[in-house]
Amino acid sequence: MESYRQRLEGYFSEDPRLQRLYIRAKEAFDKKDLIAHGWDHTYRDIINAIRIGETKGANMGIVLPAVILHDIGFLYNPDPKVHNVVGAENCAEWLEEWRDEEKNHIKACILTHKGKYRGFPFEPATLEARVVCDADLLEKVGYIGLLQGVRTFVEFAHSSDPKFRALLTIAQTLAHIEDIPLYTKTGQKIAEERGGFLRTTLCKKALAELAEYV
Ligand SMILES: [Fe+2]
Ligand SMILES: [Fe+2]
């Protein structure tokens, strides 16, 4: 059976613009060297998006450029609260080879990629945007979600908010992010197989241990 990596290469063969975008984005993220929102994260999101998008029959010509670019906001501004808006505002310069109609759809996917996450008011309006959103949300699920969560707040501690230098603050933040609904059946199924938002449960236990140090 073809691996998801091979599926990605198949998309590159069908549309060489995608490969050029992928290489350019990877180079930019590698140069920026972010702890959590680097290429390591975006690459898993790309694979998640192929997995979810193909089963939903989504237009992968929109999903793939959108997921490749979904976190470019962090290349311009370290503030996580605005990274979706900054990414949407700046995506056109990455998409010169795409038609205006495609650019607008990709831009909307970037803007809404946080879905129902608290503090982000924009919800995805198209299937492609929901696929990008669920692909990214899977990074908060299971044991990957726990590791990626800790790594995210280490990044934020260095780039935008020193309060996350304290393990207690990281645990408090992760423990209070309740389950966020995924939009697609495939996304929900993968999330369920991985035990859901394990980090919430595990961080609640960590908080009980950390209470002994207060
Ligand atoms: Fe993001
Ligand atoms: Fe992301």
Architecture per CATH, 4-213: Orthogonal Bundle (1.10)
Q: What letter represents residue 203's amino acid?
A: C
Q: Is 213 helix (H, G, I), strand (E, B) or coil?
A: helix
Ligand 1 midpoint to CA 12 (Å)? 24
- Report which bound ligand comes closest to the CA of 117: 1
**Among candidate residues 214, 49, 208, 31, the one with its CA nearest the CA of residue 133:** 49
Q: What does the alpha-carbon distance between residue 59 and residue 77 come to, in Å, rounded to a whole number?
A: 29
- Note the residue count of the chain: 214
Q: How much is the pLDDT for 177? A: 74
Q: What residues are neighbours of ligand 1 (ion), with CB under 5 Å? A: 71
Residue 41 is predicted with a pLDDT of: 98
CA distance 156 to 154: 5
Ligand nearest to the CA of 40: 2
Q: Contact 179/140 with Cβ under 8 angstroms?
A: no
> How confident is the model at residue 85, as a pLDDT?
98
User: What's the CA-to-centroid distance between 71 and ligand 1, angstroms?
Assistant: 5
pLDDT at 35: 95
The per-residue pLDDT string of the chain (214 residues; one tens digit each, 9 = 90 and over) reads: 899 999 999 999 999 999 999 999 999 999 999 999 999 999 999 999 999 999 999 999 999 999 999 999 999 999 999 999 999 999 999 999 999 999 999 999 999 999 999 889 999 999 999 999 999 999 999 999 999 999 999 999 999 999 999 999 999 999 887 778 999 999 999 999 999 999 999 999 999 999 999 8
Q: Output the pLDDT for position 45.
A: 98
Ligand with smallest separation from the Cα of 42:
2
List the alpha helices (DSSP H) in the chain.
Answer: 4-14, 16-32, 39-56, 60-69, 73-76, 83-90, 100-111, 127-137, 142-159, 167-175, 185-193, 198-210
The predicted pLDDT at position 214 comes to 83
Ligand lying nearest the CA atom of residue 48: 2
Q: How far is CA 22 from the centre of its chain?
A: 15
State the maximum Cα–Cα separation within the chain, in Å, rounded to a whole number: 58
Q: 142 — alpha (psi -120 to 50), left (phi > 0) or beta?
A: left
d(CA 106, CA 147): 29
